[in-house]
């Protein structure tokens, strides 16, 4: 992992506690104190969820279908519903006005006099719950703005992060001053900083996409991936590797460590015109984390953090990770019509290298 200002005076893994980090950032500023407490609330929930996930199939309420669906039309699994309840109860103890959750059609109002709100995906990577593969919790902290709270653009976020329940339970966090990672010490219960001021490598030789949807993708994405697949003999003149965990948090953690791009374009399947991911509690937190780590995030054309959501559960395509690669993909979108596949367009990729 590359570190900004790395030098003998700047430790890369100072093991500072999350509490000390947040105290240092917040000081006595009332909004920052509330943001810090909201983050600590998510982490309290994260500790509880990590303990459940760590027991795997020994736990009852995990990957079983509930026969319920969420606002996005996804079938809810037992752990989706259980983690929603855990995060809401943890945030109820903090100065949080409302929670906009993937697993509740309407926002959950807690205390309208509180200064900040939390947008959250309580359980990211639901298809991996029963597979013993990393899953996570994704969140953004927004200023309270009444009925308009969750329709603020992502640039309004004061903090964003995710907890990934993998071999280690890790918190990736930004409060607008770089992106940092903390590992959960399961013995003490503390989150300790292990990655200070993460910098995503600018260029990439690895991409993450669900390639089984290739025939449904829009034309710019098809052309981009075709050029990557052509490798050293193609217009990019270098070989690419591909990884797809199927849990956004795990794919982004890898990109923070070694670079690359995460891709979920709009596609031709019914309901997928804007891709699969939700703007407010998935794309926006990831975009702030990536930008604060020197990376970038767009919907292919527009900076994610500039998009004004029409409502809480709207979807958005996502292109996130290494800055130069995200910019290159934006050129594929700028140079191509948004619809229609043609071998001519596939060739035009040659001119974009
Ligand atoms: O199943 P697909 O189409 O490959 O999509 C996988 C993507 O969907 C997600 O699972 C969506 O998140 P949820 O699990 O919270 O619905 C991402 O974590 C992941 O990157
Ligand atoms: Mg998710
Ligand atoms: Mg989810």
Summarize pLDDT for 24-58 with one digit per residue, the tens.
Answer: 999 999 999 999 999 999 999 999 999 999 999 99
Asked if residue 328 lies in contact with residue 352, where contact means CB atoms within 8 angstroms, the answer is: yes
Asked if residue 300 lies in contact with residue 221, where contact means CB atoms within 8 angstroms, the answer is: yes
Per-residue pLDDT at 176 exceeds 90: yes
Per-residue pLDDT at 339 exceeds 60: no
Asked if residue 182 lies in contact with residue 173, where contact means CB atoms within 8 angstroms, the answer is: yes
Number of Cβ within 10 Å of residue 111's Cβ equals 14
Query: What is the Cα–Cα distance from 231 to 209, expressed in whole angstroms?
Result: 16
| Assessment of whether the complete model's pTM goes beyond 0.90 | yes
Per-residue pLDDT at 325 exceeds 80: yes
pLDDT cut 90: percent of the chain above it: 86
What is the Å distance from ligand 2's center to 75 Cα?
13
Nearest to 263 by CA among 304, 301, 300, 223: 300
What the chain holds in terms of domains, given with CATH numbers, is: 10-198 (3.30.540.10), 206-352 (3.40.190.80)
- Name the residue of 71, 82, 126, 127 to mutate for ligand 1: max ligand atoms within 8 A of Cβ: 127
Query: What is the Cα–Cα distance from 347 to 246, expressed in whole angstroms?
Result: 30
Give the model's confidence band at 347: pLDDT under 50 very low, under 70 low, under 90 confident, else very high: very low
- The residue with tokens 């709207």 is 314
Give the per-residue pLDDT at 350.
Answer: 37
The CA distances from residue 104 to 108, 124, 133, 157, 204, in Å, are 8, 14, 25, 21, 37
Q: What is the pLDDT of residues 255-281, one digit of tens each?
A: 999 999 999 999 999 999 999 999 999
For residue 207, say whether it is annotated as part of any ligand binding site: no
Give the per-residue pLDDT at 181.
Answer: 98
Whether 219 is catalytic is no
Give the per-residue pLDDT at 337.
Answer: 67
Q: Is 35 left (phi over 0), alpha (psi -120 to 50) or beta?
A: alpha
Q: Which of 121, 144, 219, 299 is catalytic?
A: 121
Ligand nearest to the CA of 282: 2
Query: What is the Cα–Cα distance from 200 to 182, expressed in whole angstroms?
Result: 17
Give the mean model confidence (pLDDT) for residues 302-317.
Answer: 98
Whether 248 is catalytic is no
């Amino acid at each position: 992992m590359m570190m900004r200002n790395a030098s003998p005076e700047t430790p890369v893994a100072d093991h500072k506690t999350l509490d000390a980090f947040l105290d240092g950032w917040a000081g006595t500023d009332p909004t920052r104190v509330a943001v810090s407490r909201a983050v600590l609330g998510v982490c309290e929930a994260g500790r509880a969820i990590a303990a459940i996930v760590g027991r795997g199939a020994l736990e009852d309420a995990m990957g079983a279908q509930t026969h319920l669906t969420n606002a996005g039309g996804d079938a809810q699994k037992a752990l989706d519903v259980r983690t929603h309840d855990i995060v809401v109860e943890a945030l109820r103890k903090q100065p949080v006005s409302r929670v906009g959750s993937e697993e509740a059609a309407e926002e959950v109002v807690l205390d309208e006099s509180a200064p900040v709100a939390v947008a959250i995906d309580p359980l990211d990577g639901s298809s991996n719950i029963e597979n013993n593969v990393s899953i996570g919790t994704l969140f953004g902290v927004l200023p309270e703005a009444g009925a308009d709270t969750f329709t603020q653009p992502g640039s309004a976020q004061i903090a964003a992060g995710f907890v990934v329940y993998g071999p280690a339970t890790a918190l990736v966090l930004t409060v607008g001053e770089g992106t940092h990672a903390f590992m959960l010490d399961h013995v003490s219960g503390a989150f300790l900083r292990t990655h200070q001021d993460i910098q995503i490598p600018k260029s990439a030789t690895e991409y993450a996409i669900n390639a089984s949807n290739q025939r449904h993708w829009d034309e710019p994405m098809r052309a981009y991936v075709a050029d990557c697949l052509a490798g050293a003999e193609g217009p990019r003149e270098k070989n690419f590797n591909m990884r797809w965990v199927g849990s956004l948090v795990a794919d982004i953690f890898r990109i923070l460590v070694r670079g690359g791009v995460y891709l979920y374009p709009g596609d031709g399947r019914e309901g997928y015109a804007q891709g699969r991911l939700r703007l407010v509690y998935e794309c926006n937190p990831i975009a702030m984390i990536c930008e604060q780590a020197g990376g970038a995030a767009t919907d292919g054309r527009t900076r994610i953090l500039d998009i004004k959501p029409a409502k809480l559960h709207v979807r958005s395509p996502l292109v996130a990770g290494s800055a130069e690669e995200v910019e290159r993909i934006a050129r594929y979108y700028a140079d191509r019509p948004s619809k229609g596949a043609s071998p001519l367009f596939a060739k035009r990729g040659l001119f974009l290298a």
